Amino acid sequence: MRISVVIPAKNEEENLKPLIEEIYQSLDALPHFEIVFVDDGSTDNTYQNLLFLKKHGFDKLRALKHKRSVGQSTAIWTGVNHAQGELIVTLDADGQNDPADIPLLLEEAAQFPLGSHFCIAGYRKNRKDTAWKRFQSQIANGVRRKVLGDDTPDTGCGLKVFPKQTYLCLPYFEHMHRFLPALIRRQGGRISIVEVNHRDRKFGRSKYNMLGRLGVGLIDMAGVYWLQKRNKLNDVILEHEVSH
């Protein structure tokens, strides 16, 4: 399968080169992969640096740019829609996700039959964040698991693997990336959890905070819950499967 690594980025100019180098190293054994960066309206040199890196040795790199910032979920949506691979790998641009973990998730993905819906979700068991941020995430993850029943301990981890065709079946809305396991389960897909490494941010600062997401997070969760309750899965019997 061709692999597309999709990375949303906003004002991450210093993190690009080391992250791309690590992705190349981790996927070196694969014959077909690409790295699709989506610059979500950066005000620094993120996009210019991506174009420079593409011209100077990183030929598997593709760079897309939003004219203005429209959010992480839309950046992922843009990247997946432009991706050429059948299997999508997502991770954050800040370098806290470890590209060395990507082969572990791909190995798990290989256990699922072609054409099936699934999501391999990274679990940052030992997060490199402040105690306050970890506490907030524990509360948020606990509420989400209770309400949505997605059996995922860490939906905030950017490192995930899923088929492109699965993602394109999902309802699109702002902030949907936080609910991918629940949305994929709604499609009849299976979720697998893989423990992954988590690292300190070396450059820049986080673009997101818990208090800023709280209100919309509750609204989004209610919307996903509504989608789950209104969903009906069915098994279709084809003509050649009917015994005579």
> What is the rounded distance in angstroms from the CA atom of residue 150 to the CA atom of residue 111?
20
Predicted confidence at residue 218, as pLDDT, reads 67
User: What mean pLDDT, rounded, does the chain reach?
Assistant: 85
Q: 45: alpha, beta or left, given left = phi > 0 and alpha = psi -120 to 50?
A: alpha
> What is the rounded distance in angstroms from the CA atom of residue 244 to the CA atom of residue 152?
44
Q: SS3 letters for the chain? A: CCEEEEEEECCCCCCHHHHHHHHHHHCCCCCCEEEEEEEECCCCCHHHHHHHHHHCCCCCEEEEEECCCCCHHHHHHHHHHHCCCCEEEECCCCCCECHHHHHHHHHHHCCCCCCCCEEEEEECCCCCCCHHHHHHHHHHHHHHHHHHCCCCCCCCCCCEEEEHHHHHCCCCCCCHHHHHHHHHHHCCCEEEEEECCECCCCCCCCCCCHHHHHHHHHHHHHHHHHHHHCCCCCCCCCHHHCCC
Q: 151: alpha, beta or left, given left = phi > 0 and alpha = psi -120 to 50?
A: left
Place of tokens 């990336």: 177
**Domain 3-241, CATH number (from 3.90.550.10, 3.40.50.300, 3.40.630.40, 3.10.105.10):** 3.90.550.10
Please give the average per-residue pLDDT across 75-89, as a whole number: 97
125-160 per-position pLDDT tens digit = 877 655 656 655 666 666 666 666 677 777 889 999
Token code pair at residue 242:
């009917």
Q: Is the dihedral of CA 150, 124, 36, 99 positive or negative?
A: negative
> What is the rounded distance in angstroms from the CA atom of residue 189 to the CA atom of residue 199?
30
The reported pTM is: 0.83
Q: What values do phi and psi take at 169, rounded to 5?
A: -85, -10
Predicted confidence at residue 138, as pLDDT, reads 64
Q: Where are the domains of the chain?
A: 3-241
181-214 per-position pLDDT tens digit = 888 998 889 999 999 998 877 776 665 544 445 5
CA 230 and chain centroid, separation: 25
CA dihedral 20, 100, 181, 141 (to 10 degrees): -100
